[in-house]
Amino acid sequence: MKRVIVGVSGGVDSSVALILLKNQGYEVEGLFMRNWDSLVNNDINGNPTLENDICTQEQDYNDAKSVCDKLGVKLHRVDFVKEYWDYVFSYFLDELKKGRTPNPDVMCNKYIKFDLFIKEAQKLGADYIATGHYAKIIDGNLYKAKDINKDQSYFLSQLTNEQLKNVLFPLGDITKDKVRKIAREYDLVTKDKKDSTGICFIGERNFRKFLSNYLPNKPGNIVNIDTNEVLGTHIGLMHYTIGQRKGLNIGGTKEKLFVVGKDLNKNILYVAEGENNKYLFSDSCIIDNIILNIESKIGECNAKFRYRSKDVPVTLEYLDNNEILVKYDNVKGVTPGQVCVLYDGNRCIGSGIIKEVRKNNEKLWYLL
């Protein structure tokens, strides 16, 4: 009997992954990863800052334990707090300092869940590891899940095929509704538990308050990029992303205002009127930190520039220094720091981090 170590998070998806694998005849054990110290955070100087909110991570562990006990599955627990700080949270802070919009969940998968977790599972005698991600592996390659609305291949796009070699995704061929139905049939404590949203280490905290523990707020001017008029004051460039409309706290115009750029040196946040203003659109970008799971270079494929964005046709031009110029037709909201994920149909062939956004063969000066 093959042994599978399942990454259990205390959510409904990993709970149902346990059930499906058990029913398929595997010897199943669970492993809960503690990646963040929920009660005590350290600020940028290493000083502890006590959080008074609910320790959701401990509640997640209790839920995972309840599910495993009910299913007769042994549950292990491992602490990756230091490693998460070193490989994920430090990256997150560094990107914010540069004024970019990072995706820490992608890095968590790359360095924690499908690296350190795999090594820990191997110590427990695992033949395979499994998670509750909505994705598929077909012939050793990563594919989108059946439930496209829940598909998480975007967040797995920085993994190599080697990392996915002995990985199972039990939810790849079922819908979220079916997952809920199975959890209710087994009367699991997680059956109606809300899906986690946002950045994993922030949880239910106020993002701005949380971030101020680590990066000082540097207020500056909000400027209309068309008129150069100062419209208000921002609380710090790190709190804004391209295309953002809410939370600007400025008014006085008939059209809605959207964030279109940042000047890190002058500490200026640029905005423009209307959701279809020209500053929100680009026709190419350069990506680095490339992971490509293909045997030979391809010239055309599809790309997704944000998790919820649509796939768009792109042309790839391979540059020096392991960078790729991605060309497309007038796409909105392509943002430095985000992940550009490449697809050949439903197959995820890899990704890169957006380094530079361009229009008409020139870098957009108002984007970092």
**Mind telling me the catalytic residues?**
108, 200
344 SS3 class? strand
Place of tokens 């992940």: 339
Q: Among 55, 96, 337, which Cα is nearest to 201's?
A: 55
Q: Whole-angstrom Cα distance, residue 257 to residue 246?
A: 9
For residue 10, what are the CA distances in angstroms to 13, 17, 34, 45, 188?
9, 12, 11, 32, 11
Q: Among 209, 221, 206, 222, which Cα is nearest to 259's?
A: 222
Q: Residue 43, CB half-sphere, CA atoms under 13 Å: how many?
A: 11
Beta carbons of 286 and 326 less than 8 angstroms apart: yes
Q: Among 35, 28, 34, 40, which Cα is nearest to 2's?
A: 28
Q: Residue 66, CB half-sphere, CA atoms under 13 Å: how many?
A: 16
Q: Among 230, 233, 7, which Cα is nearest to 133's?
A: 7
Q: Which two tokens stand for residue 128?
A: 């395979």
For residue 279, what are the CA distances in angstroms to 18, 246, 270, 307, 366?
47, 18, 10, 21, 9
Question: In this structure, what DSSP letter does residue 17 have?
Answer: H
